[in-house]
A = this chain, B = another copy of it.
Amino acid sequence: MGRRRIFVVAGPRSAAAGAGVFEAWRAAQLSVHVCDWVDREPDIALFARVLAAAREFRPDAVVGFGGGSPLDVAKLVGALLHSAQRVEDAFGIGRLQGRGIDVVCIATTAGTGSEVSPNAILLDEREKLKKGVVSPFLVPAVAILDPQLTIAVPPSVTAATGLDALVHCMEAYANKFAHPAVDVYALEGIRRIAANIEPAVKDGNDLAARANLMLGALYGGLCLGPVNTAAVHALSYPLGGEFHVAHGVANSLLMPHVFQFNLPAAPQRYAEIATALGVTDAASELATAEAGVRRLAELSAACGIPARLRDVGVAESDLPRLAREAMKVTRLLKNNPREVTVEAAEEIYRRAF
């Protein structure tokens, strides 16, 4: 691409894993600055520090190297590098004013889909709520997916990120704004992830399973732009914001309960999801769909994901507050096939408790 000054956004572990790549770039006479500060799901303050470092380095391209967190930060750095807009004013859909320079995303987990999506998520640490920036200006110029880079991902992260990608696909397929151009990505992502997540969790060196999982996650990422997720993600954000439950764990834990709630509103769509999950058709659409929900709970358990909110530090007395917080994520709740009231949200949390 003819660029000379590369600002890399990574985490400490992904930066170490990428050392050989960065050395090769330096050997090709590129100036490479590796910023490896994204060691957790990023908040506004961490993003501001990375953006300041990037402005000081004056790159002509930004590379995100890692899981969803560094990729999201890299995308926002690329967009805001030369902008006077504050990130706080970009939260929401279509509010980003432009893009500064191109971003290349190199994924090292199979899950986020951030490498192809127009989304970036930051924690608003004051409000203890995760917030999203959604804009075509965030779509990376190039996405590179090499399953070799995911071989070292530990089983618990493989499980959580893989199930997160599965949720991307399922929430896009059973979605008020589902669209034929996205439906095929959603179903193919579900098929590949459902068939390969257990093998990849049990044997991290299974490169075929890793490749299928990564491709499934890519399809999940392609669902994130034009259709996007729904109530599972909306209800999971307060768990990340306040209790720092990993994004994929929060989604996996909530998905059977949200889908059970949603079933009556879209039985055919959930039956088709169940078939893609590998469930044999039952007597009725609704029965097939319900078997799909049971299959999801089994899949989470087989992958070692905690099954209950009480297992991740949430107390029963927290549930009403979580429900009120979730109601703020209107940009995703509007997509859900069944309307979620604050009472319904609390009931879903209670069933997951």
Contact = CB atoms under 8 A, between A and B. Distances in A.
A188 interface: yes
A20 interface: no
Copies in the complex: 2
A185 interface: yes
Interface string A170-212: 0000000000110011001000000000000000000000000
Interface in A101-150: none
A181 B223 CA distance: 11
Interface stretch (A30-38, A214-222, A316-324, A329-337): A214-222
Main secondary structure of the interface of A (DSSP, over half): helix
Report, as a range, how many residues of chain A touch the other chain. under 10
Q: Which 8 A-B pairs have the closest CB atoms?
A: A184-B184, A184-B188, A180-B215, A184-B185, A181-B222, A180-B218, A184-B219, A181-B218
Contacts of A218: 180-181
A188 B185 CA distance: 10
10 contacts: A180-B215, A180-B218, A180-B219, A181-B185, A181-B218, A181-B222, A184-B184, A184-B185, A184-B188, A184-B219
A198 B153 CA distance: 50
A222 B180 CA distance: 11
Given A181-B185, A184-B188, 8 more contacts: A180-B215, A180-B218, A180-B219, A181-B218, A181-B222, A184-B184, A184-B185, A184-B219
A186 to B, nearest CB: 10
A188 B181 CA distance: 11
A181 B185 CA distance: 8
Nearest to A218: B180
Nearest to A185: B184
A222 B226 CA distance: 15
A111 to B, nearest CB: 17
Contacts of A180: 215, 218-219
A185 B188 CA distance: 10
A167 to B, nearest CB: 19
A105 to B, nearest CB: 15
Nearest to A186: B184
A268 B222 CA distance: 26
A196 to B, nearest CB: 15
A218 to B, nearest CB: 7
A184 B218 CA distance: 12
Contacts of A185: 181, 184
Contacts of A188: 184
Nearest to A180: B215
A215 B180 CA distance: 8
Nearest to A215: B180
Contacts of A222: 181
